[in-house]
Structure 1
Amino acid sequence: MNNSVIAWVLLGLVLVILLAAAVRIAKEYERGVTFRLGRVIGAKGPGLFFIIPVVDKVVKVSLRTVTMDIPAQDIITKDNVTIRVNAVTYFNVVEPVRSVVAIENHIQGTSQIAQTTLRSVLGQTDLDELLARRDDINQRLQETIDKVTDPWGVKVTLVEVKDVELPESMRRAMARQAESERDRRAKVIHAHGEFEAADTLGRAAEVLEVHPAAMQLRLLSTLTEVAGERNSTLIFPLPMEVLRLVDHLGARAAGQAAPEGAAPGPAGAGGEQDERPPKAA
């Protein structure tokens, strides 16, 4: 009796152990790649699933997006500028079976191919293109890396260049270039302003020439502004017509005074005196 009880207890324990070994639970973001006697039979999950103890082996794979920093790389660009660039890549497993069977460690493999692709793509790019067209370069990196990782069941969704470290001499040269560009724009804007001001003044002069009364109104407005500033000196402009009239009157007065002060001429037959010297004896 005691031996039978012990046997049943042992049998129960063995069944419990086998049942525990046969039960597997995969989370929502996990899949269990199952191998039976070394041959893959598929990916199971999420949730509860069963395997054959000892015969089956399960490798769990996460389907969540992995954020991985690409270490800083020393790169020589197409225009022979040495820069130091680091980036970040986002990828996730879309085929659990291939991510286990096709490569030993898909995370390490993706990291290595991302580093080599970063050096290769940026080495074919000019510095100005790298700084100005960052989105296009990120797209090229993503497409290139994704082509390599696709047989592994890994999808690269995004690659972003984070930081570009330039040599100190290049930074100073770029600063001088930017300063020169700002000076050029300032001079061009100033020249455009002068041109527009001259054009506006020319049109205003044409209007004032057609309407003399507008000139008088403008003069009165200017005098009002000057008087409101409490200046000790008041400049009163005169029209050019007044100055021309004064000059004309002065010339006429000078012309009339000249005949009155002229010396008398020599006397002749009509009572004029003969001022010729006498002949010698």
Structure 2
Amino acid sequence: MIKRLIDKLMGRKRVLINENERAVWLYKGVAKGIIGPGEHMLPNWDGSLMVERQMLDRQLFVSAYTQAVLDRLEDDVATHLTQVRTSENEIAVIERDGMINTILKPDAKLILWTDAGPWTSQLIDIADEPRVSAKLLKRLIKAGQMQQVMLVEVDEGKTALVSIDGQLADTLAPGVYGYWTPGRKVTARQIDLARQSLDVAGQEILTRDRVTLRVNIAAEYRVVDPVKAVTEVRDFVDALYRGLQYAFRKTLGAMTLDQILEKKVSVDAEAAEKVRADMANIGIEVSDIALKDVILPGEMREILNQVVAAQKEAEANVIRRREETNATRSLLNTAKVMADNPVMLRLKELESLESIATKVDKLTVTNGTVGLMNDLVKLSDD
């Protein structure tokens, strides 16, 4: 009580600052200093003392009197505050006690309580180094400080094309990469380098003889030059699709239905040549191209079925006539042999008799064997 009275009479005030606090004090509205932990005797005539306390665990120095403190209290600022500034194309990686704490954007300023540190900072020129170094990227991911970074993950068998503000900047192999994003637009497009298939299904084509067909086409391709594939055309898959479509329409449209059905392989070869050449110009290698299906309208299918049935019937008749002719010729040859050779004729007669005998239960001979054979010969002669 006596101390307070003495302090009041002497125009001063005792201010206690804890270990976890720092304070800016002003007298008569003017910034006078920054004070640390302990008891401080500060002037307070007419109650003009004002103390602004701040907690160290907030780390940042944020005050309504920031500019006045920086302008008037150079020694206190050097003792108690750590300032980090970045220019137009700079990023600051701020570390606290060896661990990443904050990423400061370009054209920015950060004021930290020095005693909340220790603090270190690294300035990076993102104009010259748009890609984050692999070592720093791992630390940023671990610290959860990815707000200023775009992460690009490239899978095995793929590549990624990175553009910065619309201009191609990098071609990436499989792996994990990071790019600084402040003040710029970063985009990444992944391209699959593995062999892939493309189906062009249900394409309607009018043949030279005015028959409407539907065809299914299949092709296998792979990207050999991803930069060309992306820069030469808007969508290389769509370009291949349209190339197959156009080539087959042009080729099949100049042929009749019979030619298409008879020369399916040659049609593929003719169409494939142009497609492969066009796609090679945009970095695409096309391997197999096949005309998978030719689908006819219902009425045309019925007509073709009838034609095929008639053709098969005609072929069957030709085969049947050929066999009959061969059988007749064989009989004629046998007859000639028997006419020239009586012994052969007798053997044939005995074979016939044996065949007949096997098919009856009882055989009665009334004229003797000689008479029977003579009658057979007579019958044969007649």
Task: Report what 1:53 is aligned to.
Answer: 180
Distance in 1 between residues matched to 2:380 and 2:268, nearest whole Å: 76
SS in 1 for 2:288: strand
Residues 186-225 of structure 1: pairs in structure 2 closer than 5 A: 186-225=316-355
Distance in 2 between residues matched to 1:233 and 1:178, nearest whole Å: 55
Deviation (angstroms), 1:222: 0.9
Structure 2 vs 1, CA of residues 143 and 19 (structure 1 numbering), >3 Å: closer, same or farther? farther
Deviation (angstroms), 1:223: 1.2
Residues 1-281 of structure 1: pairs in structure 2 closer than 5 A: 2=56, 3=59, 8-9=95-96, 12-14=101-103, 16=140, 17=145, 21=149, 24-35=152-163, 38-41=166-169, 43-48=171-176, 50=177, 52-54=179-181, 57-230=187-360, 238-240=376-378
Structure 2 vs 1, CA of residues 224 and 70 (structure 1 numbering), >3 Å: closer, same or farther? same
What TM-score do you get using the length of structure 1 for normalisation?
Answer: 0.71
SS in 2 for 1:229: coil
**1:136-173 CA-partner distances (Å, limit 9, x unpaired):** 22233322222222222122222322332223332232
SS in 2 for 1:78: coil
Deviation (angstroms), 1:42: 5.3
Amino acid at match of 2:287: T
Structure 1 contact 32–45 (Cα < 8 Å) conserved? yes
Quote the RMSD (CA, aligned, Å).
Answer: 3.5
Structure 1 contact 71–115 (Cα < 8 Å) conserved? no
Distance in 2 between residues matched to 1:127 and 1:242, nearest whole Å: 61
SS in 2 for 1:238: helix
Q: Which has the higher contact order (CA 8 A, sep 6+)?
A: 1
Distance in 2 between residues matched to 1:191 and 1:116, nearest whole Å: 49
Deviation (angstroms), 1:76: 1.1
Structure with a larger share of its residues in helix: 1
Structure 2 vs 1, CA of residues 178 and 81 (structure 1 numbering), >3 Å: closer, same or farther? same
Aligned pair count reads: 243
What TM-score do you get using the length of structure 2 for normalisation?
Answer: 0.54
Gaps of 5+ in 1: 245-281
Amino acid at match of 2:377: P
Deviation (angstroms), 1:24: 4.4
Structure 2 vs 1, CA of residues 136 and 241 (structure 1 numbering), >3 Å: closer, same or farther? closer
Deviation (angstroms), 1:243: 6.8
Structure 1 contact 70–87 (Cα < 8 Å) conserved? yes
**1:62-98 CA-partner distances (Å, limit 9, x unpaired):** 1123333213122111222122223233222111111
Structure with a larger share of its residues in strand: 2
Identity %: 21
